[in-house]
């Protein structure tokens, strides 16, 4: 690990060291000693490098490379090994705070710094005893969690793609780990650690998806391998957001920001969105159906704002109908289970279609939405069709 910075090499070395430190090995003491020496060296260098970076009037290229290499090694080692005794949270969080304050910290040190503070929090969580948790320990961890979450939220708007993507993934993971399930199953003492996302953060996460997952324009200079790598990273971002919905960190209605792109981005994200559709249906069929309807209503409203009332021949309107048809297929099975949810979808959809008055003597602006709604009508039971 002292000679390389390539992630694949560092990860292999970290796994090998983890195996050497296994409790059942007779040579475990040697592995522990090697790990301690390596951590001592890396931590000392990290503290020096970060201090130099924060105090330097101008960044020296060699110093920057050295600091980035050290942080990369630490971030990989932190994944499999508990490095919290080496107090790496403070220098890494100071780097991130400097970036938030000035925007002058290079991205090659920011990405591993985000990873380091993330793993520090997770290891600290693993240290908590199962009972009689000291309040001071809880407060210390809570401060770390809120600090990392705040720093990552600020980094969502960083100009560097790698920094903002890593911030999004780490923030999503923190919201998941410190979500509602943390204090369940006899763990009520952990309730002070919960990290519920406020309305502003929820909006920011959804906007991030729109800007960096569903608005990607491939560069003409991109080669095939780069496109595959970028697609993989965008899929990671989308999956991180979807997990927040599946595990009740975000309200189910937040899924409308994902579901409405099911048709347009089917080739890139179809499997992820379909799995999210299926899992959220099992959570609450009524709310799930309302979220599908919300997705269609949002698209309809956006189209009316863009093109005006004459939308029936517009290609985007046909795409909305096609999306409704895809959604309707999800009601094909278990008609009795879906009956009330489907009825509710039709009732709310009809109200939406009739609520916007047009010009005097003209039909409501949303009236074409009835055509979208008609894609679901074949799934209704015959008595329900007569009722509607």
Digit-coded pLDDT (tens) for 244-280: 999 999 999 999 999 999 999 999 999 999 999 999 9
Share in percent of the chain as helix, strand, coil (round to 5): 75, 0, 25
Looking at the fold, whether 275 and 297 belong to one and the same domain comes out as: no
pTM of the model: 0.92
Looking at the fold, whether 295 and 385 belong to one and the same domain comes out as: yes
Span 77-87, pLDDT tens digits: 999 999 999 99
Give me 100's structure tokens: 């938030």
User: Domain for residue 15, yes or no?
Assistant: no
Mean pLDDT of 108-118: 97
Q: To the nearest whole percent, how much of the chain has pLDDT over 70?
A: 95
Looking at the fold, whether 346 and 383 belong to one and the same domain comes out as: yes
Q: Is the pLDDT of residue 219 over 70?
A: no
Picking from 273, 368, 268, 257, the residue whose alpha carbon sits closest to that of residue 320 is: 368
User: Domain for residue 170, yes or no?
Assistant: no
User: Domain for residue 214, yes or no?
Assistant: yes
Looking at the fold, whether 300 and 385 belong to one and the same domain comes out as: yes
At residue 388, the pLDDT reads 57
Residues of the domain holding 270: 197-283
At residue 222, the pLDDT reads 64
Looking at the fold, whether 297 and 271 belong to one and the same domain comes out as: no
- pLDDT: which is higher, 142 or 5: 142
User: Domain for residue 349, yes or no?
Assistant: yes
Question: Over the chain, what is the mean pLDDT?
Answer: 91
What burial letters (b/e) apply to 245-282, b meaning 16+ CB within 10 Å?
A: bbbebbebebbbbbbbbbbebeebbeebbeebbeebbe
Looking at the fold, whether 312 and 382 belong to one and the same domain comes out as: yes
pLDDT-derived band at 179 (thresholds 50, 70, 90) equals very high
Mean pLDDT of 288-308: 94
- pLDDT: which is higher, 332 or 180: 180
User: Domain for residue 68, yes or no?
Assistant: no
Q: Is the pLDDT of residue 356 over 80?
A: no
Looking at the fold, whether 258 and 289 belong to one and the same domain comes out as: no
Looking at the fold, whether 237 and 322 belong to one and the same domain comes out as: no
Mean pLDDT of 290-296: 98
Looking at the fold, whether 318 and 348 belong to one and the same domain comes out as: yes
Grouping H, G, I as helix, E, B as strand and the rest as coil, residue 385 is helix
pLDDT-derived band at 358 (thresholds 50, 70, 90) equals low
Which of 283, 306, 328 is the C-terminal boundary of a domain? 283
Span 59-99, pLDDT tens digits: 788 889 999 999 999 999 999 999 999 999 999 999 999 99
At residue 311, the pLDDT reads 83
pLDDT-derived band at 220 (thresholds 50, 70, 90) equals low
Which of 262, 283, 304 is the C-terminal boundary of a domain? 283
Looking at the fold, whether 226 and 303 belong to one and the same domain comes out as: no
At residue 339, the pLDDT reads 87
Which of 263, 283, 303 is the C-terminal boundary of a domain? 283
Neighbouring C-beta atoms of residue 345, cutoff 10 Å: 26
pLDDT-derived band at 309 (thresholds 50, 70, 90) equals confident
pLDDT-derived band at 224 (thresholds 50, 70, 90) equals confident
Picking from 247, 137, 150, 153, the residue whose alpha carbon sits closest to that of residue 192 is: 137
User: Domain for residue 120, yes or no?
Assistant: no
Q: Is the pLDDT of residue 386 over 70?
A: no
Question: Distance between CA atoms of 175 and 170, rounded to whole angstroms?
Answer: 9
At residue 171, the pLDDT reads 98
Total domains, the chain: 2
pLDDT-derived band at 321 (thresholds 50, 70, 90) equals very high
Q: Is the pLDDT of residue 193 over 90?
A: yes
Looking at the fold, whether 248 and 262 belong to one and the same domain comes out as: yes
Looking at the fold, whether 278 and 206 belong to one and the same domain comes out as: yes
User: Domain for residue 323, yes or no?
Assistant: yes
Q: Is the separation of the CB atoms in 339 and 353 below 8 Å?
A: no
- pLDDT: which is higher, 318 or 308: 318
User: Domain for residue 167, yes or no?
Assistant: no
Span 131-166, pLDDT tens digits: 888 999 999 999 999 999 999 999 999 999 999 999
Q: Is the pLDDT of residue 284 over 80?
A: yes
Give me 112's structure tokens: 């591993």
């Amino acid at each position: 690990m002292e000679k390389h910075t390539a992630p694949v090499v560092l990860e292999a070395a970290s796994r090998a060291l983890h195996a050497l430190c296994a409790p059942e090995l007779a040579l475990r003491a040697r592995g522990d000693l090697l790990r301690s020496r390596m951590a001592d060296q890396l931590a000392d260098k990290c503290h020096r490098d970060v201090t130099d970076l924060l105090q330097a009037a101008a960044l020296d290229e060699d110093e920057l490379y050295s600091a980035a290499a050290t942080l990369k090694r630490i971030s990989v080692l932190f994944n499999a090994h508990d490095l919290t005794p080496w107090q790496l949270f403070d220098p890494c969080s100071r780097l991130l705070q400097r970036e938030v304050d000035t925007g002058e910290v290079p991205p090659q040190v920011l990405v591993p710094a985000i990873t380091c503070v993330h793993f520090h929090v997770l290891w600290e969580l693993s240290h908590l005893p199962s009972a009689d948790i000291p309040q001071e320990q809880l407060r210390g961890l809570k401060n770390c969690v809120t600090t990392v979450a705040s720093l990552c939220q600020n980094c969502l708007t960083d100009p560097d793609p790698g920094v903002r993507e890593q911030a999004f993934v780490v923030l999503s993971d923190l919201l998941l780990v410190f979500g509602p399930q943390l204090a369940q199953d006899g763990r009520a003492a952990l309730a002070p650690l919960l990290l519920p996302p406020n309305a502003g953060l929820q909006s920011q996460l959804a906007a991030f998806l729109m800007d960096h997952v569903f608005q990607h324009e491939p560069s003409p200079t991109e080669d095939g391998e780069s496109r595959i790598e970028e697609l993989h990273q965008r899929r990671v971002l989308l999956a991180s957001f979807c997990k927040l919905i599946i595990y009740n960190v975000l309200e189910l209605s937040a899924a409308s920001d994902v579901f409405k792109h099911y048709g347009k981005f089917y080739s890139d994200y179809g499997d992820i969105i379909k799995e999210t559709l299926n899992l959220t249906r099992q959570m609450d069929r009524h709310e799930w159906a309302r979220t599908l309807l919300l997705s269609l209503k949002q698209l309809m409203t956006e189209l009316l704002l863009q093109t005006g009332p004459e939308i029936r021949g517009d290609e985007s309107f046909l795409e909305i109908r096609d999306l409704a048809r895809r959604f309707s297929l999800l009601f094909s099975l278990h008609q009795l289970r879906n009956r009330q949810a489907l009825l509710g979808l039709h009732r709310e959809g009809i109200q939406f279609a009739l609520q916007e008055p047009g010009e005097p003597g003209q039909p409501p602006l949303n009236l074409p939405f009835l055509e979208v709604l008609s894609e679901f009508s074949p799934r209704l039971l015959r008595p329900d069709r007569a009722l509607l």
